[in-house]
Chain A
Amino acid sequence: MSTSLQMNDGNRVSDPRAFVTGLGRGAAGALLFGVPMLMTMELWELGFYIERYRLLILLTANIPLLVSLADRVGFERTGTLAEACRDATIAYALGIVMSTAILVLFGDIKPGMPISEIVGKVAIQAVPASIGALLGRSQLGESNDDQDEHKDGNRDEEAVTDHLSTRYIQELFLMGVGALFLNLNVAPTEEIILISFKMTPWHALATILVSIAIMHAFVYAVAFQGSHEVPEGTPWWHAFFRFTLPGYIVAMAISLYVLWTFGRLDDVGPTQVLMSAIVLSFPGAIGAAAARLIL
């Protein structure tokens, strides 16, 4: 990825082929991360009945999210804000193009449909697909990064320390992105509210505790690659209080936002709101923990 994105940094001559490769990776990412949602009936339906102002908020909120992600995730190591904006725009456009293409392929968009329905369907799919495009460009571009390191290992190292230092806010932001991503996958389905209806408060209590435990175990106990190591002599609950609990609250807030966006909270009593948020925070917590490892 970095080859195509560093075109403008002066050290490299602009290479259209590298740029096309970058676009290809983005498109692959949009597909990889977007397909589960492109094949979810409820999301198609949401495309025409979602209240337009909620859709607008989601689409607008996606812009700073993509820019921050482009800036911070790290595939753009020498990036400036302008470059992050450019990458975010490309990712958003890729998300829109891929969503449209796949929806047309599935016969979900046909000529003669009202334009607002088509736009709504594409718009709602473009959000997860654009996040996928951005992640795909960083995650699928690994082999290329390795090659780059031979060429400019020093600059790389330097950029990693001052640009990628995982500051606290950034860590919480990444958890939010991870939670949002998994939430968008499952939130539109009827199963989320159905599960919350089937659960008793005892089940909900257990779900909260299990979600938090999984989150903590994912990052600290199970030593995946990228696992965070707590410095020697620090009690386990330090990381638990500083990262896992705030992460769960972030996942919870994202769950509430996504449920509200999809109209699942309208006219629903406070206890039921909490129950569905607890259910949705379960995948959200896994997504948040995974984001800390992967991104």
Chain B
Amino acid sequence: MTEISRRPHSEKPDPHWVEWATGIVSAVLVVAMLGWVGYEALTDKDGPPEFRITITGIAPVSGGHRVEFDIANRATRTAATVNVRGEILDGSRTAEDAEVVIDYVPAQSKSSGALIFREDPGRHEILIRAVGYSDP
């Protein structure tokens, strides 16, 4: 501990110009960040989460067929515990359904997941939609 009190600190009366340059760049960055967040704060429409689900791949796995999907949230509010249900439609009848819960779909961001069906969905229409969420 003793060396700390004796230690010369760098608060010299005549600092090097690099210190000022770093300080100015940092100040600009902090102000830019405040500006960005401030702009978000002022223009925040605070709309409820809006999902868009796209299927990214179908592949056979042991015990069924895996359907991978991306779920995007275009709104400025995050959704938690998003329930996603997928159905294989055989005409107007649901041949099979599967469900998964996504922990978070952050605002203006994307999450991904997969559903596993027993039946081969290839020949039928697949419908995947979010059926509910909670606010974080």
Contact = CB atoms under 8 A, between A and B. Distances in A.
B89 to A, nearest CB: 29
Contact of B111 (A167, A267, A274): A267
A194 B106 CA distance: 10
B101 interface: no
A245 B30 contact: yes
A167 B33 CA distance: 28
Contact of B23 (A145, A161, A229, A245): A245
Contact of A166 (B10, B24, B78, B104): B10
A201 B41 contact: yes
Nearest to A270: B108
B68 to A, nearest CB: 14
A268 B109 contact: yes
A256 to B, nearest CB: 12
Contacts, number: 134
Nearest to A246: B26
B16 A208 contact: no
A241 interface: yes
A285 to B, nearest CB: 12
Interface string A260-293: 0000000111111011001000000000000000
A145 B2 contact: yes
Nearest to A240: B23
B30 A166 contact: no
B5 interface: yes
Nearest to A209: B34
Contacts of A208: 30, 33-34, 37
Contacts of A168: 10, 15-16, 18-19, 22
A171 interface: yes
Contacts of B109: 267-269, 272
A274 B76 CA distance: 13
Given A249-B29, A269-B106, 5 more contacts: A157-B6, A164-B7, A197-B104, A212-B30, A272-B78
Interface of B: 1-13, 15-16, 18-20, 22-27, 29-30, 33-34, 36-38, 40-41, 44, 76, 78, 80, 104, 106-112, 136
Closest 4 CB pairs of A and B: A269-B108, A201-B41, A241-B23, A245-B26
